[in-house]
Amino acid sequence: MIMSVANNQSNNMTLVRKLASKTSRCFARNVYKATEIQKLGKRRSPRSSLSTVSSVTSTSEHSIVVKEVGESAEMEHAVESLRSALHLLKDASNKSCPWVDARNLLDETAAALDDAGLALRSKSANSEQQSESYVLKLADKVVHNRRRLLGGSFVHDVDGVWTKSVYGDCNGISFGTDDDELCRIPVEEKEEKALIVYASQTGTSKTSANNLCKSLGGDAHCVMRNMKSVGIKDLAMHKRVYIICSTSGLGRPPRDVETFYSNVQLNAMRCKENLEDLSIGDEENEKPLAGTSIAIATLGSSALEDFAKFGLDLTEELVTLGAAIALDTITIDGKNGKTEQKQMFQQWESRIIQMEKERLMER
In this prediction, residue 161 carries a pLDDT of 53
- What is the b/e burial string over 19-41, where b = at least 16 CB atoms within 10 angstroms of the residue's CB? ebbeeebbebbeebbeebbeebe
Model confidence pLDDT, tens digit, residues 265-300? 988 988 877 665 544 455 666 789 999 999 999 998
Model confidence pLDDT, tens digit, residues 293-328? 999 999 988 888 788 899 999 999 999 999 999 999
Assess contact for 288 and 236: CB atoms under 8 A: yes
In this prediction, residue 196 carries a pLDDT of 98
In this prediction, residue 231 carries a pLDDT of 92
H or E segment at 280? none
In this prediction, residue 326 carries a pLDDT of 96
Distance CA 199, CA 299 (A): 10
In this prediction, residue 71 carries a pLDDT of 58
* pTM, to two decimals: 0.73
Q: What single letter denotes the amino acid at residue 299?
A: L
In this prediction, residue 124 carries a pLDDT of 59
In this prediction, residue 157 carries a pLDDT of 40
Residues of the chain with pLDDT under 50: 1-69, 155-159, 167, 169-180, 278-280
Comparing C-alpha atoms, which of 159, 174, 24, 26 is closest to residue 85? 159
Assess contact for 26 and 106: CB atoms under 8 A: no
In this prediction, residue 114 carries a pLDDT of 86
